[in-house]
Amino acid sequence: MTETKTFVRNKFSEYYQKHSPSIKPPTQIEKREFGFLALKERFMIRHKGFKNVNDLTKFLKTLVPSDVYYSSAYYEKPEEKMEEKSWLGADLIFDIDADHIPTPCAKTHDKWTCNNCGTAGKGVLPEKCPACGEQKFDEKTWPCEVCLESAKVETTKLIDMLTRDFGFHSKEISVSFSGHRGYHLHVETKEVQALDSMARKEIVDYILGIGLETSFHGLGEERGEMKSSVLVGPSLDDSGWRGRIARGTYEFLLTTTPEELENTGLKKKIIDTLTQHKETILESWKEKGPWGVIKGVGVEKWRKIAQRGADIQSAKIDTVVTTDVHRLIRLTNTLHGKTGLKKIEVPIPDIERFDPLKSAIAFKEGTVTILVSDAPEFRLGDQTYGPYKNRQIELPTAAALLLLCKGMAEVKEEK
């Protein structure tokens, strides 16, 4: 092991020696499968089972893994091969990761290198390498504040849907910061455990608005008086997706630009009409909404606009995590191997004020001297660091560990 690896391992070991009492085991620990990423060799150890939390913490202290996962599923025999585990049910889980959200920072802090030709760049990963056309990259992502804030906004939208539409009590939902770039949500109520993958897919589609058709939510033509047809649509205070479509449409029309309307697939003439009547549209929400208020904007145009509204209201969750009924997910209060931060639970009432870059700090004491090759400016706790380029510097343990785990720095040898 290199100096850096040894250092990281020692720190992780120290954490599990000291803080293992804080590790809250998942409910029915004896029915869960556990998985660990070994710090030394970087391979996955799966199909582990534990009778109680003591056995688990003992194991953590000996192995010192870089990452600890457990199954959202409950099994009769969690240590058996997949097809012999005997699935009993699974929690309903959601993952919101900055990777899936278009963020205002445009991910300028992320770097990628083409595996094939070595071409490198910054920002959102391109679909193909601009130089050779290959599609495999080595990615270096960064948990930036803007990204984390966007993830939080999506999390808040998801909580709103889960409580108002799906009727879960906020006490039945546990929310955590993953320790890297996003948030996890767990629902463990009995009634959701039996849901199969197809049913969970329907929930995913609901939350992302996939397959949503505004015609099923009251947007359409109705026969009015005198046989003429009248355009009607949802109102702001309607329930479920109806209200969401209305509120999203309101927000979209309030903040949109002509360019964006063009991207929505609207023609110049319609865009002009909408821009001219912006005031009328805003006023209209006090009554029946803008549908049918503006002459020349027909039902098909409104559908396009309302779809954009729906898109604003949808919560950008990862589709695979929720539909996979055998998923392994990070255990709360364990360390994230890419940051040295810990996964930490966020009480729902505190989510607005929650500061992931403060609360998730696992190492609060001491300093380390490291050689930083290249790091952006970043904040951890109340302190801002960097940017650094080829610099030797003494940093608080948590900040140093973040750069070491990210592969942006090496430990300076002690002499």
Partner 1 sequence: MAKYPFTNEAAEYVRNLDLKIEDMSNPILTRAEQRIEEALLYAHVNTGSRNNEIEIPSFPVAVMMVASTADTLMKRRYALAEAKRVYNLLNEEEKDMILKIASAFNWRIRLTNNIPPYEFALSFTDYLKNTTRFQAKQWKLVNRIVVDGEVYLTQDHTARLLEEEVRAHIEKKLDTKGKFALPQNVADRLEQLKKTFIKQKGKIQFEEFPKEVNITAFPPCIKNMYDNINSGHHLSHIGRFALTSFLINIGMTPENVINLYRSLSDFNERLTRYQVEHIAGGRGSRTKYIPPRCNTLRTHGVCTSTDQICKGTRHPLAYYRRKLRTIKTKTPTEQTQK
Active site residues: 95, 97, 318
Tokens standing for residue 54? 């003591």
Q: Among 57-65, 174-182, 207-215, 364-372, which window interacts with partner 1 (CB under 8 A)?
A: 207-215
Number of residues lying near partner 1 (CB under 8 A)? 43
- Considering only residues 2, 41, 43, 136, which one is a binding residue for partner 1 as defined by CB under 8 A? 136
Whole-angstrom Cα distance, residue 388 to residue 370? 11
Q: Which stretch binds partner 1 (CB under 8 A): 81-89, 282-290, 339-347, 407-415?
A: 81-89
Minimum distance from CB of 312 to partner 1 (Å)?
A: 15
CA 192 to chain centre: 21
In this chain, which of 229, 239, 263, 369 binds partner 1, going by CB under 8 A?
A: 239
Among the listed residues 229, 320, 350, 394, the single contact to partner 1 using CB under 8 A: 320
φ/ψ of residue 316, rounded to 5: -80, 80
Give the range of 2-10, 79-87, 102-110, 378-386 binding partner 1 by CB under 8 A: 79-87
* Torsion sign across C-alpha atoms 337, 342, 347, 349: negative
Choices 42-50, 235-243, 331-339, 402-410 (CB under 8 A): range interacting with partner 1: 235-243
Question: Taking CB under 8 A as the rule, which mask of x and - marks residues 158-197 in contact with partner 1?
Answer: ------xxxxx----------------------xx-xxx-
Q: Does 131 bind partner 1 (CB under 8 A)?
A: no
Half-sphere exposure of 229 (CA within 13 A, CB side): 8
Contact between 240 and partner 1 per CB under 8 A: yes
Residue 135 in the binding site for partner 1 (CB under 8 A): yes
Q: Does 83 bind partner 1 (CB under 8 A)?
A: yes
> What is the rounded CA–CA span in Å between residue 362 and residue 179?
10
In the complex, least distance from residue 297 CB atom to partner 1, rounded to whole angstroms: 24
End-to-end CA distance of the chain: 18
Q: What is the DSSP string of 62-126?
A: HH-EEEEEEESEEESSTTS-GGGS-EEEE-EEEEEEGGGS--TTTTTT-EEEETTT--EEESSPP
Which amino acid, residue 238?
D
Residue 30 lies near partner 1 (rule: CB under 8 A): no
Compute the distance between CA of residue 285 and CA of residue 290 in angstroms, rounded to an integer: 6
Interface with partner 1 in residues 259-318 (CB under 8 A): none
| 245's tokens | 């479509």
> Is-contact 252 310, C-beta < 8 A?
no
Report the alpha-carbon distance of residue 41 to residue 34 in Å, rounded: 18
Among residues 109, 152, 242, 301, the one that binds partner 1 under rule CB under 8 A:
242
Residue 309 or 396 with smaller CB distance to partner 1: 309
Q: CA 379, CA 3: separation in Å to the nearest integer? A: 26
Work out whether 209 is an interface residue with partner 1 (CB under 8 A).
yes
Phi, psi of 5 (to 5 degrees): -60, -45
116 part of the interface to partner 1, by CB under 8 A = yes
CB-nearer residue toward partner 1: 173 or 400 = 173
Only one of the segments 44-52, 75-83, 178-186, 358-366 lies at the binding site for partner 1 (rule: CB under 8 A); that segment is: 75-83
Q: What residues contact residue 289 under an 8 Å CB cut-off, 6+ apart? A: 233, 234, 235, 236, 246, 249
Minimum distance, C-beta of residue 117 to partner 1, in the bound complex (Å): 11
From the list 36, 241, 302, 354, which residue makes contact with partner 1 (rule: CB under 8 A)?
A: 241
Secondary structure percentages of the chain, helix, strand, coil, to 5: 40, 25, 40
Positions touching partner 1 (CB under 8 A) are: 81-83, 115-116, 128, 133-136, 164-168, 191-192, 194-196, 198-199, 201-206, 208-213, 216-217, 239-242, 319-320, 323
